[in-house]
Amino acid sequence: MRLFLISLASLFSFSIYANTPDGKLNLKFTPEQYDSLLAAKTMRNMLESYDSYVNEFITLDDIDLIDTKRSIPDSVYEQRLKMMPTMIRLPYNTLVRRYIENYSIKYRSQMETMMGIARLYFPMIEEELYKRNMPLELKLLAFVESAMKVKAVSRAGATGMWQMMYATAKNYKLEINAFIDERYDARAATQAACEHLEDLYEIYHDWTLAIAAYNCGAGNVNKAIKRAGNNAKTFWDVYEYLPRETRGYVPAFIGATYAYTFHKVHDINPDKFDFGQPTDTILVQKLTHFDQISTTIPISTERLRELNPQYKLDIIPVTANKAYPLNLPIELISTFIEHEKEINAKDSLYLKEFINPANFSKTWNSPGRGTRYKVRKGDTLGALANKYHTTTRAIMKANNLKDAKSLRAGRTIYIP
């Protein structure tokens, strides 16, 4: 144990004091070094949690290996689905087979990308599902909804990893206004999505119907049940009466769940992404611009945006009545606390028009006011219009844009 501690101390440049009264080895860590240790442990636990899930019940020894370059018999797919321990019905049919082959063969590269991103988010999603005693396989809905993209926006305006519409998000207490959209906050959106799925299950007492309702709305599922007759109990009983998109939604979920569980059999290897250090949250108590932070501690404004996509204007909109969380690399938590006064002192430089929290809350959260937005690389007028519930024409008119292609990264525009 002594040699291990000395090696660990050497690795992280810790100070060692061996001459203590009781003769025991004493290690003195700085707050930053404690954060560094915690970051390493968190990353290891995150990866181990992800890797262990698919091996917990099913191993390669349990199944017959078949050359995946050849057509796999229906009986094999059906048998493997039955092997999966789940509370969700996963029947096999020709439609399910098509989606299994989409995820495991046709779009395997996309599957590898999604699984790589999932290493970061699945442990958190599983935690939220476990709290509610919900099937952990429901995390695969994030594959079907957004391909695990936290910043995804659909043409209809569904936003975030869980593709929540504005009304649904507001119904589950996600905050959306000129400065913040919590649909982009992975944990907040996951909590809302889990609550929504839980409520839908309470209505239907069948997970396939709850999943279908998550996609097309409970109203459409209720109409399908009415048309199918009172004996309809599952998605498959009402299949032909559902909207076209929803008919493929549950089969897609089954296909994604199969490919994820049996990815090793199909030689699907999760991409290895450099996510940087694991993160933790700190509660910010004062109205703060990202530039106040990036000019004080070693983190760029762009990195702050990546970690906190819910803040639309690089501003953490703290008011007298509410503080907000900030995601930071664990290794910078102590550094932020140490320099917090210095960060706050820069408010007059970066927040001149918002310096009075009372005015900020009164003026910028008032109904009908537009939004100032700093254009980012990859933004389009169509996506911005969907995001802010307006039209491309309105944005172009408000900013004297003659051509949609004239939108340039770095420019601040007004969105009515």
Which residue do the tokens 């320099």 mark? 339
**Residue 98: burial class (beta carbons within 10 Å; 0-12, 13-18, 19+):** middle
The set of residues, in sequence order, having a beta carbon less than 8 Å from that of 175 and lying 6+ positions away, is 181, 182
The set of residues, in sequence order, having a beta carbon less than 8 Å from that of 304 and lying 6+ positions away, is 290, 293, 294, 314, 326
Which residue do the tokens 């990308």 mark? 113
**Residue 252: burial class (beta carbons within 10 Å; 0-12, 13-18, 19+):** buried
Residues serving a catalytic function are 145
Which residue do the tokens 């809350």 mark? 361
Alpha-carbon radius of gyration of the chain: 25
Angstrom distance (rounded) from CA 285 to CA 282: 10
CB half-sphere exposure, 53, CA atoms < 13 A: 23
CA 109 from centroid of its chain's CA atoms: 20
